[in-house]
Amino acid sequence: MTTDNTVASARVLALLESMTLAEKIGQLGSFWVDQGDDLVAPMAGEMASSTKYDEASKDGIGHLSRVYGTRPVDPIERADWLWTEQRRLRAETRLGIPAIVHEECLTGLAAWKAATFPTPLAWGASFDPYTVEEMARTIGGSMHALGIHQGLAPVLDVIRDARWGRVDECIAEDPYVVGTIGTAYVRGLQDAGIDATLKHFVGYSASRSGRNHAPVSAGPREIADVLLPPFEMAVRDGGARSVMNSYAEIDGMPVAATSEYLTDLLRDAWGFEGVVVSDYFAVRFLETMHGVARDGAEAARLALTAGLDVELPTTDAFGEPLLRLLQDGGIDPSVVDIAVLRVLMQKERLGLLDETFDTPPTEIELDSPAHRAVARRLAEESVVMLANHSVLPLAAPARLAVIGPNADSAEALMGCYSFANHVLAHHPETEIGFEIPTVLDAIRSEFADSDITHVAGCAVEGHDRSAIADAVAAATAADVAVVVVGDRAGLFGRGTVGEGNDVESLELPGVQRELVEAIVATGTPVVMVLLTGRPYSLSWALDSATVPDAVLQAFFPGEEGAPALAGILSGVVNPSGRLPVSLPRSAGAQPYSYLHPTLGGPNEITSASSAPVRPFGFGLSYSSFTHDELTVEQTAPTATSFRVSVRVANTSERAGTDVVQLYARDVHAQVTRPVAQLLGYARVDLEAGQDTIVDFDVPTTRLAFTGRSGHRIVEPGQVELWVGGSCADKETTGSVELVGDEHVVTPEDRRVTVAGARSVVHTG
């Protein structure tokens, strides 16, 4: 028997043949062992099954949910429990099939004492898929040692609206950057033996007004050309082994019940061979939130028939309601059998059918020097310098004022899905469990000879201005003031950004802008440091008459983020991050993407400008770079590729890293096309005065789009090309004429496109 693209082994087929109905549906469910009164998600209590664990697992169980990641448990003690439990499943259930253990791992393994890495928006700012892959491999190693099999990451949602709270979980507003970096994460995690789970498939980030769970009104062209490519790359090129559905309903159709996405596209068109798991409670949401199912049984039928295999985080609709449905003949048994086969095949591939669980780990280091080294490198690469009016690097100031609500906060360095902000917020009595210096700590270490004064000035949220006067006094007495402002990540109203923390304004939360402006008014040189999970409207800090002397943007840079920032302040580290998302002018300009057509940008027929304050790809350095001698073939057939080369030179007296960005514009097409589109990028290290040639081998399918016919095509015609410091900087230009017939993109073409994504750039 086959499951779409893969033939099941004789062993798995024999297991399926021997199963009772109860044993089959047991493999399609899950149990959240530790879920109790301190719920980490809203509605978890009302959606969770009341069934006791022993009862729920007596016929076997598909998944154990967040064994390490729901409460602060000692990893070694919990591993001993887990090994014992897996042995019990082997010995005391009739078929002896162990459970898959899944955990969150977006910014590192979400478990107590485990390393916390930069948030995905920082991955995008690094433009470095290779370090992201190394990070994921390191995370996967920790997970594998603890008996975990599946990670609920990466998030491949393309940013469409900065007001959405989950922007900090996303990589970029460009699908190519999301796809290449997300695929690198998949490779790293799966190299370590952990199945990656792509989420949220698909459309989640395109919700109306940037509100969580809001309906999506994206048309088929936007879905095909913007939202789907990262998932396709991670499936085809990365070999991702699991996919999680989006909560979204697209044009009235909930993804969890839509076979056009979960089966026709994902499996039939892309050849996906893995398991589709539900986002938490998404099956029952078909009844309670979308209203397309009358009850749990109908929700189970809709989800399974659409192609969703496993219900997480608990067995609800896939439990008793599904059993009754099978007994009453309300669902084709073969639909259930196929889902069970996929789960059994996953367990066989993971080695669970043969694992004896004899020896649990007795020691493990979840925050080793290797963890911290990659965390530091990624943090350093991801900080974006937005402005520098000759104040940075700091020349060892005698008196330094460190001001702001995020200056002495470890939590401000970590994203929403870090264990500290996701779980420990419910356990304030528990220490973080690993070393994470604050920005204040790191500055004191970096500038050990300076007299350092610290004043918070205000809180991240709220309207208390009473401490601003003290901050002004501290800044007035200092040679330089470093003001650290931004976000506090949390969930569902707890914090300023994160899941469920959507906003109507893109002004800095609380009175932080007033704090910064008051410090700037003192006349003391000011460096503003932003620790945020989304881009904020910063016209007042970048384009007004009175601005901070320098502005650094860090997107939740993780446990080594503060030393990375301190190194940039001192000049030990040369900043190289680039904006993975446009810096918005205001909330009123949302939704906005640099991938807009001509009518989506500023023009003379509207008084409301959507132009960003800083464009996608922007970032300054202590070095200076030039790009010239762009060379490209004059013509290229529509069904092949073309080569572009550009000379990059470090024209400064300091070694540095440039992020070379190749952009294109399809001059004339049968449907409107973006005014700029990233074709390729490369991090290039250059010594002072050094230059090099960067070559891009660009498949023409990078320029494919959904034509009027509904098929993805490559059209003949002129394509403008340029390289510069951002999407808006046409420093050196050229063009290529695509010739021949209109080319309809085939599955083989797509595979070539994504296979070339990691190796498209060569330097020499």
Sign of the C-alpha dihedral, residues 338, 344, 348, 351?
positive
Q: Where are the domains of the chain?
A: 382-586, 625-763
Q: Which CATH class is domain 382-586?
A: alpha beta
Q: Which CATH class is domain 625-763?
A: mainly beta
Q: Where are the beta strands (DSSP E) in 116-216?
A: 150-151, 195-201
Mean pLDDT for the chain overall: 94
Question: Could you tell me the two tokens for 534?
Answer: 């989304």
pLDDT digits (tens, 9 = 90+) for 336-370: 999 999 999 999 999 999 999 999 999 999 999 99
pLDDT at 615 over 90: yes
Which pLDDT does position 601 carry in this prediction? 87
Which pLDDT does position 763 carry in this prediction? 40
Output the CA–CA distances (angstroms, integers) from residue 126 to 202, 381, 383, 503, 651, in the order listed: 25, 5, 8, 26, 22
Q: Do domains 382-586 and 625-763 have the same CATH topology?
A: no
For 36, other C-beta atoms within 10 Å of its C-beta total 12
Determine the residue type at 120.
P
- Average pLDDT estimate for 677-696: 97
* pLDDT confidence tier of residue 88, bands split at 50, 70 and 90: very high
Which pLDDT does position 35 carry in this prediction? 62
pLDDT at 37 over 70: no
* pLDDT confidence tier of residue 760, bands split at 50, 70 and 90: very low
* Interior/surface letters 412-429, b for 16+ CB within 10 angstroms, e for the rest: bbbbbbbbbbbbbbeeee
Q: Can you name the residues that pair with 647 across neighbouring β-strands?
A: 628, 693
d(C-alpha 74, C-alpha 72), whole Å: 7
Question: Could you tell me the two tokens for 39?
Answer: 């719920």
d(C-alpha 481, C-alpha 528), whole Å: 8
pLDDT digits (tens, 9 = 90+) for 272-305: 999 999 999 999 999 999 999 999 999 999 999 9
Sign of the C-alpha dihedral, residues 215, 217, 220, 226?
negative
Determine the residue type at 169.
E
* pLDDT confidence tier of residue 748, bands split at 50, 70 and 90: confident
Sequence-ordered list of residues with C-beta below 8 angstroms from that of 507, at least 6 positions apart, any chain: 513, 536, 537, 587
Which pLDDT does position 39 carry in this prediction? 46
Residue that the structure tokens 């979400």 belong to: 110
pLDDT at 754 over 50: no
| Beta carbons of 465 and 458 less than 8 angstroms apart | yes
Least confident of 100-104, 344-348, 464-468, 543-547: 543-547
pLDDT digits (tens, 9 = 90+) for 189-222: 999 999 999 999 999 999 999 999 999 999 999 9
| Beta carbons of 243 and 198 less than 8 angstroms apart | yes
d(C-alpha 272, C-alpha 267), whole Å: 5
Instruction: Please report, to the nearest 10 degrees, the dihedral formed by the alpha carbons of residues 86, 88, 92, 93 taken in order.
Output: -20
pLDDT digits (tens, 9 = 90+) for 691-719: 999 999 999 999 999 999 999 999 999 99
Could you give the angle at which helices 468-476 and 512-520 cross, rounded to 10 degrees?
Answer: 30
Question: Could you tell me the two tokens for 417?
Answer: 């899905």
| Beta carbons of 240 and 287 less than 8 angstroms apart | no
Which pLDDT does position 606 carry in this prediction? 85
d(C-alpha 697, C-alpha 676), whole Å: 18
d(C-alpha 148, C-alpha 150), whole Å: 6
| Beta carbons of 703 and 664 less than 8 angstroms apart | yes
d(C-alpha 761, C-alpha 650), whole Å: 19
d(C-alpha 415, C-alpha 490), whole Å: 8
Which pLDDT does position 588 carry in this prediction? 86
pLDDT at 154 over 70: yes
Beta strands 656-666 and 677-686, pairing class: antiparallel
Which pLDDT does position 759 carry in this prediction? 33
* pLDDT confidence tier of residue 753, bands split at 50, 70 and 90: very low
pLDDT digits (tens, 9 = 90+) for 368-415: 999 999 999 999 999 999 999 999 999 989 999 999 999 999 999 999
Nearest to 400 by CA among 524, 294, 291: 524
pLDDT at 309 over 50: yes
d(C-alpha 511, C-alpha 457), whole Å: 10
| Beta carbons of 659 and 576 less than 8 angstroms apart | yes
* Interior/surface letters 477-497, b for 16+ CB within 10 angstroms, e for the rest: ebbbbbbbbbbbbbbeeebbb
Which pLDDT does position 51 carry in this prediction? 61
Q: How many residues does the chain have?
A: 764
Q: Can you name the residues that pair with 250 across neighbouring β-strands?
A: 216, 253
Which pLDDT does position 36 carry in this prediction? 53
pTM assigned to the model: 0.96
Q: Can you name the residues that pair with 744 across neighbouring β-strands?
A: 713
- Average pLDDT estimate for 144-155: 98
pLDDT at 45 over 50: no
| Beta carbons of 761 and 696 less than 8 angstroms apart | yes
- Average pLDDT estimate for 492-520: 96
Which pLDDT does position 495 carry in this prediction? 95
Which pLDDT does position 261 carry in this prediction? 98
For 331, other C-beta atoms within 10 Å of its C-beta total 18
pLDDT digits (tens, 9 = 90+) for 93-148: 999 999 999 999 999 999 999 999 999 999 999 999 999 999 999 999 999 999 99
High-pLDDT (> 70) share of the chain, %: 95
pLDDT at 722 over 50: yes
What is the arrangement of strands in the sheet containing 480-486, beginning at the earlier edge strand? 384-388, 550-555, 526-532, 480-486, 399-403, 451-455
Sequence-ordered list of residues with C-beta below 8 angstroms from that of 177, at least 6 positions apart, any chain: 124, 127, 171, 580, 678, 681
Q: Where are the beta strands (DSSP E) in 110-159?
A: 150-151
Nearest to 234 by CA among 183, 270, 200: 183
